[in-house]
Amino acid sequence: MEAHEEFLTASTVSVQPVLGIHLRGDPDKISAEALENVARSLHDLLKASSRALRPGDEEPIWVVSKLALNSITTGYRPRADYSETGNQLISEISDGLSALKNEGKAPDRWNHEMLVALRKVTKLDRFSGAEGVDIWHDNLANTLSVDEEFSHIVERALAHDAPVSRGSVTGHVVGWKDEEGFEILTIQDESSRTRVPVRFSSEFGVTIQQVAGSRLRIWGDLKRNKNGKKISLAMHDFEILPDREVVSVDLIKGLWSDDVNRVDSVEFQRRLRDED
């Protein structure tokens, strides 16, 4: 029996499913943790979509529209008073999923948070007893099976969509190469304790070469992956820092010992952090 046929014959606690997840597997073997995560990841996807696609609007309240133990099937729909916005969101999510599947890229309006939420859905088959994941809307005739290819598409979209912030890396150069017309050096970043590729334009080339043995702080547009790990930096500028030495705490120990107005160290901290 196909998954959707199984679903259609299952008992449910409500009607009118709008967006749902079907976790394939034997209900007797699917873990409670899997069920918990199905419920949460579906809700997270809807909430992320609301924030990304309807910024500024009040977020719909989602109610359980479908819950079945044929494997595990859940479906959420917007509460009646949010039906207009909610239904539009479901439609846009559905269109976006189709675009991802067919064109390999997420719609422009999908943001990083949405892709992260979708990624969680694609990982649901990793829970004990789960054999596969389908995302469906309206009815199971509209089902998207999460296979390896779709998971890769989501990963690629996430990598492409890595958020950019203004940031820096600090450390020594440990590698250097040319790539597609750009020079790229690799810094062993002290803060994250990882190696971060830094792309820079030719105007910096000679200067950087001259100081490549020094400890550098380089700042610019920093990309991080979904876990926050620094994955690349596009350099705006840099500075040379002195090499670090081992410095004993004795250097600062007792530095304020002559303070006649000494306060308790926690009180000191609270004075700075509490409101007047």
Partner 1 sequence: MKTRPELIVVDTCVYVDALYTGNARAKGADEDRARRSSNLLAKIETGEFVAGLLPIVLTEINSTQQLGTNIPPSTRHQRKKAIDAYFNGYGHITLEHDDRVAHLGAKLARQELMKGPDALVVASAVVHEAFALFSWDKKILRLQGSALVKNLKISEPPARVAPAQGSIFDLLDKEAVLKDFADRAKRSGNSN
Residues that bind partner 1 (CB under 8 A): 163, 165, 167-168, 170, 190-191, 193, 224, 228, 242, 244-249, 251-262, 264-266, 268-270, 272-275
Task: Give the dihedral of Cα atoms 268, 271, 274, 275; nearest 10 deg.
Answer: -170
Compare residues 116 and 184 and give the one whose CB is closer to partner 1: 116
Q: Where are the alpha helices (DSSP H) in 104-147?
A: 112-122
CB 158 within 8 A of CB 170: no
Compare residues 94 and 170 and give the one whose CB is closer to partner 1: 170
- CB 166 → partner 1: shortest distance, Å? 10
- CB 193 → partner 1: shortest distance, Å? 7
- CB 223 → partner 1: shortest distance, Å? 12
Compare residues 141 and 260 and give the one whose CB is closer to partner 1: 260
Q: In angstroms, rounded to a whole number, what is the distance separating the alpha carbons of residues 122 and 135?
A: 9
Compare residues 65 and 170 and give the one whose CB is closer to partner 1: 170
The residues pairing with 179 across neighbouring beta strands, listed in sequence order, are 182
Q: In angstroms, rounded to a whole number, what is the distance separating the alpha carbons of residues 94 and 75?
A: 14
Orientation angle between helical segments 148-160 and 83-103, nearest 10 degrees: 100
Compare residues 180 and 276 and give the one whose CB is closer to partner 1: 276
- The secondary structure of residue 188, as a DSSP letter, is E
- CB 83 → partner 1: shortest distance, Å? 29
Task: Give the dihedral of Cα atoms 6, 155, 60, 86; nearest 10 deg.
Answer: -60
- CB 110 → partner 1: shortest distance, Å? 18
- CB 121 → partner 1: shortest distance, Å? 21
Compare residues 80 and 255 and give the one whose CB is closer to partner 1: 255
Compare residues 6 and 59 and give the one whose CB is closer to partner 1: 59
Give the residue among 116, 115, 223 at the shortest CA–CA distance from 168. 223
Backbone angles phi, psi at 79, to 5 degrees: -60, 155
- CB 14 → partner 1: shortest distance, Å? 30
Q: Which residues, including other chains, have CB under 8 Å from residue 122's CB and lie 6 or more apart?
A: 133, 146, 150, 151, 154
